[in-house]
Chain A
Amino acid sequence: MIPVLGLVIGVTVGLLLQPTVPGALQPYLPIAVIAALDAVVGALRALGERRFNDRVFVVSFISNVLIAAFMVFLGDQLGVGSQLSTGVVVVLGIRIFANAAAIRRRIFRA
């Protein structure tokens, strides 16, 4: 119940305050969002399999975001920022799809 409350508050704050992304964070935010989504989808799958551990979720969420941001940063430093970002997005996307597929199989048995 409390997580849903967090979701609602987050969307509301984003819509009402309309904060602008600080320039320094601008390249990292999209990748961080994808990484966090990966963690969330993974958590949903774990919920479905009744082995959800909120500690694991917190740690994976934070580490995913940090690692994704770090990889973008590193890519920028190495001059392969866009390629590395694409790579990160692809990998995370595959993971999201795989988790989503597992959820789907569990729900629809297909």
Chain B
Amino acid sequence: MRDRGRWVQILVAVLIGALALAITVQVRDKPEDDYQNARSEDLVELLKSLDAANQRLDRQIFDLTTTRDDLLDSSKRSDAAQKQAREQADALAILAGTAPATGPGVVVTISDPEGGVDAGALLDAVEELRNAGAEAIVINGTARVVGQTYLTDTDDSIRIGGRDIKPPYVIEAIGDTGTMATATQIPGGLVDTIERRGGEVSVTRKAIVTITALADVRTPEYARPDS
């Protein structure tokens, strides 16, 4: 009988211990989501507000996506415009002689033992090459010949675009090699004219002619773009 009482006491202790354990655990282990004990009306309200927020954010996403697409589109357009402008600038730079140029071309060497080749003859030669499609021309590697370049005679040389050029004159021209070389040979053409003035001409075709000389840039003083 005494033994049985001891056992029941131990059982009581175990039960009390279990209760203490359960309380401790339950107090510490609060449900992590606060919605478990919320009333259903509150939950409905919460759901509604979340739905509204969701819709608002959806709209915002749509707006922002549209804006982003617009910006991408316009930046792509401006990229294209920039590329086009750059190409145009490159083309104009070669034309205006403000950029170095390279490409196939011919080298026309004019020696002038008798001094009969003057600025006019040289200008004629340049014009002939231009007619044959020369895109960039330089004389003696220093005087770039562009639209604004002038040629005048001085005592013992020719002044081209502000640079004194002495014979022999070496004209390097970038363009269609065949056309230019052929154009120099026609009767009454470049070679013909120079030889009549006592000069000697040799025309060499070259796969690569590199022109590094630049023309002086002149800002137009009177002319303005008309648009």
**Which A positions have Cβ atoms within 8 angstroms of B?**
2-3, 5-11, 13-15, 18-21, 26, 29-30, 32-33, 36-37, 40, 54-55, 57-58, 61-62
If over half of A's interface residues share one DSSP class (helix, strand or loop), that class is named, otherwise mixed; here it is helix
If over half of B's interface residues share one DSSP class (helix, strand or loop), that class is named, otherwise mixed; here it is helix
Q: Take A6-B13, A58-B15 as given contacts and tell me if A29 and B8 are in contact as well, using a CB distance cutoff of 8 Å.
A: no
Q: Which among B9, B14, B15 has the highest number of chain A CB atoms within 10 Å?
A: B15
| Chain A nearest Cβ from B46, distance in angstroms | 17
Which residues of chain A come closer than 8 Å to B28, judged between CB atoms?
14-15, 18
Which residues of chain B come closer than 8 Å to A55, judged between CB atoms?
8
How many residues on B have C-beta within 8 angstroms of the other chain's C-beta atoms? 23
- Is A20 touching B19 in the complex (CB atoms < 8 A)? no
Which residues of chain A come closer than 8 Å to B22, judged between CB atoms?
14, 29, 32-33, 36
| Chain B nearest Cβ from A15, distance in angstroms | 6
Q: Take A6-B13, A6-B17, A62-B15 as given contacts and tell me if A33 and B24 are in contact as well, using a CB distance cutoff of 8 Å.
A: no
- Is B10 touching A2 in the complex (CB atoms < 8 A)? yes
Q: What is the CA–CA distance of A40 and B19 in the complex, to the nearest angstrom? A: 9
- B12: interface (CB < 8 Å): yes
- Is B16 touching A3 in the complex (CB atoms < 8 A)? yes
| Chain B nearest Cβ from A53, distance in angstroms | 9
- Is A2 touching B24 in the complex (CB atoms < 8 A)? no
Question: Looking across the interface, which residue of chain B has its beta carbon closest to that of A18?
Answer: B28
Q: What is the CA–CA distance of A80 and B160 in the complex, to the nearest angstrom? A: 107
- Is B9 touching A3 in the complex (CB atoms < 8 A)? yes
Q: Take A6-B17, A6-B20, A7-B17 as given contacts and tell me if A14 and B12 are in contact as well, using a CB distance cutoff of 8 Å.
A: no
Q: What is the CA–CA distance of A40 and B15 in the complex, to the nearest angstrom? A: 10
| Chain A nearest Cβ from B154, distance in angstroms | 104
- Is A19 touching B17 in the complex (CB atoms < 8 A)? no
Q: What is the CA–CA distance of A42 and B215 in the complex, to the nearest angstrom? A: 112
Q: What is the CA–CA distance of A3 and B12 in the complex, to the nearest angstrom? A: 6
Nearest 8 Cβ contacts at the A-B interface? A14-B24, A10-B20, A6-B13, A10-B17, A6-B17, A10-B21, A6-B16, A2-B13
